[in-house]
Amino acid sequence: MVDKVEFELVSPAKLLYAGAVDMVVVPGSEGDFGVLPGHAPLISLVRPGVINIHDEGRVEQRIFVAGGFAEVTQTRCTVLADEAMPVTDIDRAKAEGRLQAARVRLGEADSEADKAAAWHEIGVAEALISAAG
């Protein structure tokens, strides 16, 4: 029996993580889900939130993702993120500025597509602030 799951986290900018871990907890669109070795295959949307990477009995790393897709097999979990960064790199002041800018865009939006984009950006900014603690 395999005792590790291969995990990869990729953003448009770079590969943020690649390695064998005990478990990964991903913020899925229907709720958080944990991936252990032998997991049933699935594909899920990823909502803005924090991926917790567990290894050696502890959370080894926490990485913020702004959304994306996750693919899970029995031996691997791959997350393709729209935007990602280690939680330790989050600048709370910048995240609050991002939230204010998104609220301004929402107020100025004149189409449903612009409103939807602004609401998405508000959700990302709020998740960033929450992750920053």
- Tens digits of per-residue pLDDT, 5-34? 999 999 999 999 999 999 999 999 999 999
- Tens digits of per-residue pLDDT, 35-92? 999 999 999 999 999 999 999 989 999 999 999 999 999 999 999 999 999 999 999 9
Q: Calculate the CA 110 to chain-centre distance.
A: 29
Under DSSP, is residue 93 helix (H, G, I), strand (E, B) or coil? helix
In whole angstroms, how far apart are CA 2 and each of 28, 36, 101?
Answer: 24, 10, 47
Q: Calculate the CA 115 to chain-centre distance.
A: 22
pTM, entire model: 0.90
